[in-house]
Amino acid sequence: MCERRYFSIEEIMLNNIQNLRGFTVSASDGEAGAIRDVYFDDEKWIIRHLVVETGGWFSGRNVLISPFSVLGVDWPAERIHLNLTKEQIRNGPDIDIDKPVSRQHEAAVHDHYGYPYYWAGPYVWGYSAYPTLLADRAAEYAHDNAIGESIKQEREQGNPHLRSGREVVGYEIQATDDTVGHVEDFLFDDRDWSIQLMVVDTRNWWPGKDVLISPKRIDRISWENRQIIVNITREEVERSPEYDPAYPPPIGPQNEIYRRFGMPPR
């Protein structure tokens, strides 16, 4: 069984969401499927769920797995290790990926795996900033009864902040003065699953390149128009740090981006 590994800051590099697609899912007792997609929170910019297809890449049931369950990601081997059994995964609440994810469905997923509700506490993962810290002591955290009414009110509605990673790729980037490219990918930190940077492909608009923009510069996402509206100019996008997938940025590169745009990191 794969044990949890804790990394030092020096060895943490940001990783691509799109690269997760097709990764083998390893349960504690064998292979349990493959990663099909992720759902991320466009308010907190956190990956909330992995979509696991349990019966093969294009068939079988799709289930949601929380980062609470992740022991580690083996990037060279293209494999994610979970602290769940194959039976737990395959018996999890299935998800229709063509419909919004309701808060009720999220609660059912957390109940099935015995994890606290991430929306119940003061931090991005509920009672912690890192899901792995809670997963080891999940039994100590009871579900917050105060959110029961909230779940009832939202049971028929999709969580408006959960978005499919596959869906957003290709969305047009609208700067304050021009259209400047499209979303190519997102880079995230697999310790807390936070999205740190957005990769923008500018080559359809001028002889350009892939550049990096912090999601904190996003004003809003227009789902009906398939656009991401950012509060920077075309010139600022052109001057953004270039992204080379062969040399992924280390943790914390958004500080450089803020320095370039005259804004402090938040």
Task: Domain ranges for the chain, please list them.
Answer: 9-164, 169-261
Taking the C-alpha atoms of residue 60 and residue 57, their distance in angstroms, rounded to an integer, is 8
pLDDT for 140-164, tens place per residue?
A: 554 554 455 555 455 555 677 888 9
Which CATH number applies to 9-164? 3.90.50.10
Taking the C-alpha atoms of residue 245 and residue 13, their distance in angstroms, rounded to an integer, is 11
Find the helix or strand (DSSP H, E) in which 81 lies: strand 79-82
Give the β-pairing of 227-230 and 172-174: parallel
pTM: 0.83
Q: Which residue has the higher pLDDT, 5 or 179?
A: 179
Closest by Cα among 45, 58, 263 to 162: 45
pLDDT at 22: 94
Residue 104 pLDDT > 70: yes
Helices (H), 5-116: 86-90, 103-113
Mean pLDDT of 54-80: 85
pLDDT at 132: 79
pLDDT at 239: 85
3-state SS assignment for residue 110 = helix
Residue 171 pLDDT > 90: yes
The architecture of the domain spanning 169-261 is Roll (2.30)
pLDDT at 141: 56
How far apart, in Å, are the Cα atoms of 128 and each of 31, 44, 93, 119, 192? 29, 14, 25, 11, 10
Q: Which residue has the higher pLDDT, 248 or 170?
A: 170
In SS3 terms, 209-262 reads as CEEEECHHHEEEEECCCCEEEECCCHHHHHCCCECCCCCCCECCCHHHHHHHHC
Mean pLDDT of 188-211: 86
3-state SS assignment for residue 179 = strand
